[in-house]
Amino acid sequence: MATDLEIAVRKVVSTNPATGERLREIDCASPTQVQRVVSRAGEAQPAWAALGLKKRTAILGQFQHLLLEKKVEIATLITREAGKPYVEALLTEVLVVLDATRFLIENAHGFLRPERVPHGGLAMKAKTGHLLREPHGVIGIVSPWNYPFSIPAVEALAALVTGNAVVLKPSEFTSLVGLELASLLHASGVPQAVFQVVVGDGAAGAALLDSPIDKLVFTGSVATGKRVAQAAATRLLPVLLELGGKDPMLVLDDADLEVASSAAVWGAFLNAGQTCLSVERCYVHRSLYEPFLETCVEKTGKLRVGHGLDPETEIGPMIHDRQLRVVEEQVNEAKALGARVLAGGSPLPELGPHFYAPTVLADVTHAMRIMREETFGPVLSVAPFADDEEAIRLANDSDFGLAASVWTRDGQRGEAVARRIVAGTVMVNDTISCFGISEAPHGGVKASGIGRAHGRSGMEEMVRVKYLDTDRLPRVKKVWWYGYGASFARQMEAFIDFQFARGLGKRLKSLPKSAGALLDRKV
Ligand code: NAD
């Protein structure tokens, strides 16, 4: 087992995945340092909460302004460290965060305003109830590399606006983007101790989990998510888990072939397929199957693979060797089990260390890992189906349940199919863009996770609900207090009948007896 000293001198290396160039080496935070950072956050949090929502939203406004000013610089850094094309860094990271900030500024006030809870029960009419939404305290965020800016930023902003302090452990592959988020927030007016970053790999994440945080927001793989949930359970730490996906795309027999094939290609290859919401399984009605495949192959052939900073690039590199090997293994196994490789199917070492050709596979089946495990690479795996029933059965035959899409010219039919798919989100005639709808909750069911980020649900995760109740008759003893006895029991029977007996006559008959309880309090 590593000692604290050994962990303290470990480093993470930030690398450009397109070239292998080392960008920076950073010391990993030791468990002791993580504890100290979290304690500091805990001390700073009450003043941040006391600052008030108006001032906190003003700081978010300043953050939005600075991010807008620095959009080119930030998107460039994201591309250098995560490899994705610059335009994707702009749209799926910078724009998503700008709009999430807009949403929080517009909605935090209504969300945090005490919410009246009207009482329907007769015995409770003399009380007024409110829901108060209070910050947890210190929120730990552990994030992945594939959306290194938008994922932690949207979560952190929701935590901050609701009055929490935040400690972020970014992925070891994208520490620089995590540190850049911190400098933007600090420059906007968030105090240093209220948003802090601890750099490191899994050990730093585990140390954060083991520190006195009040909630952990985790985004990453199912395997790590399970470890996190187990560790959290030992101290009953609340956790939000945003895990992997194996999203199905259902192309029904009346779908627009031209539109659906473009969507499939973009949905499978966006960010080199390293998107939790990627199209990982594509099911196409038998009547469209061959023309759909032909069109997808033709469109895939036109895509330009290269370095993300080249403005012509549409598909960048994968993040690292390990991820590339997962894709190679799954594609090779699918081939061996009878899948047809219609495009791609191998790495592109001539472009750099981590490039994989955009790949179209036909005739895949659920016996293949490529249809059961997350691939997280630029692979469009396509299988035919006979009717809607079969498509729904195939879509639901998965351990995952993050999102899905249904493609049809008939919106009502699409919605009917969508309702039967087990997933956190189902889009009709679009894919992935739900992540950019700031109002929409984001999260999954089954192995895809627990809880929701984004939107009102995302804010809800950042607060604990307190129910505040005030009695409007403080000088009156409650009917249900002591003074039990046979007469009281009859009165209570009548009181229950008065409220719930069938028929107005029966209810009114029990009124005089039940009202007696109001006068008979003995203790
Ligand atoms: P990962 O699970 O390897 O790592 C995620 C984070 O957890 C990293 O910061 C890592 O350092 C940290 N970590 C590792 N071990 C830990 C431990 N024992 N305790 C605490 N933290 C630990 O995932 P990844 O490869 O970075 O990201 C890819 C995965 O994330 C994919 O499965 C993808 O689907 C998923 N993802 C999900 C969503 C979503 O919103 N559902 C979004 C993006 C990515």
Query: Which residue is it, tokens 């991010």?
Result: 67
- Output the residue whose Cα is nearest ligand 1's atom 21: 205
What does the pLDDT look like over 416-453, one tens digit per residue? 999 999 999 999 999 999 999 999 999 999 999 999 99
Q: Which residues line ligand 1 (CB under 6 A)?
A: 142-147, 151, 169, 171-172, 201-202, 205-206, 209, 219-221, 224, 227-228, 242-245, 276, 374, 376, 402, 444, 449
What does the pLDDT look like over 267-324, one tens digit per residue? 999 999 999 999 999 999 999 999 999 999 999 999 999 999 999 999 999 999 999 9
- Output the residue whose Cα is nearest ligand 1's atom 13: 202
CA-to-CA distance for 29 and 175, rounded, in angstroms?
12
- Output the residue whose Cα is nearest ligand 1's atom 4: 220
What does the pLDDT look like over 183-242, one tens digit per residue? 999 999 999 999 999 999 999 999 999 999 999 999 999 999 999 999 999 999 999 999
Residue 4 has pLDDT above 80, yes or no: no
Using CA atoms, how far residue 17 sits from 14, 78, 85, 346, 502, in Å, is 9, 11, 12, 17, 71
CA-to-CA distance for 45 and 35, rounded, in angstroms?
15
Q: What is the 3-state secondary structure (H, E, C) of 189-206?
A: CCCCCCEEECCCCHHHHH
Query: What is the 319 CA–ligand 1 centroid distance (Å)?
Result: 13
DSSP state, residue 30? P
DSSP state, residue 370? G
At residue 187, the pLDDT reads 98
Mean pLDDT of 365-394: 98
At residue 7, the pLDDT reads 46
Query: Which residue is it, tokens 């927001």?
Result: 217
242 is catalytic: yes
Rounded to the nearest 5 degrees, what angle is found at the Cα of 22, between the Cα atoms of 278 and 19?
Answer: 55
Residue 195 contacts residue 24 (beta carbons within 8 Å): no
- Across the chain, mean pLDDT equals 96
Residue 252, token pair as written in the block: 């029904």
- Count of residues for the chain? 523
Mean pLDDT of 348-371: 98
Mean pLDDT of 346-354: 97
At residue 523, the pLDDT reads 78
At residue 519, the pLDDT reads 79
CA-to-CA distance for 326 and 330, rounded, in angstroms?
6
What does the pLDDT look like over 142-166, one tens digit per residue? 999 999 999 999 999 999 999 999 9
Query: What is the 35 CA–ligand 1 centroid distance (Å)?
Result: 21
- Output the residue whose Cα is nearest ligand 1's atom 34: 244
Residue 262 has pLDDT above 70, yes or no: yes
- Output the residue whose Cα is nearest ligand 1's atom 19: 206
Q: Which of 276, 282, 296, 434 is the catalytic position?
A: 276
Percentage of the chain with pLDDT > 90?
A: 96
What does the pLDDT look like over 71-97, one tens digit per residue? 999 999 999 999 999 999 999 999 999
Tell me whether residue 2 is exposed, middle or buried, using C-beta atoms within 10 angstroms of its C-beta: 0 to 12, 13 to 18, 19 or more: exposed
Contacts of 432 (CB under 8 A, 6+ apart): 266, 267, 270, 275, 277, 278, 279, 403
Q: Which of 81, 172, 180, 242 is the catalytic position?
A: 242
CA-to-CA distance for 195 and 161, rounded, in angstroms?
12
Pocket test for ligand 1, best of 92, 235, 276 (most atoms within 8 A of CB): 276
Query: What is the 516 CA–ligand 1 centroid distance (Å)?
Result: 63
Residue 495 — very low, low, confident or very high, per pLDDT cuts 50/70/90? very high
Q: Quick one: which atom of ligand 1 is closest to the CA of 222?
A: 32
What does the pLDDT look like over 14-68, one tens digit per residue? 999 999 999 999 999 999 999 999 999 999 999 999 999 999 999 999 999 999 9
Residue 517 — very low, low, confident or very high, per pLDDT cuts 50/70/90? confident
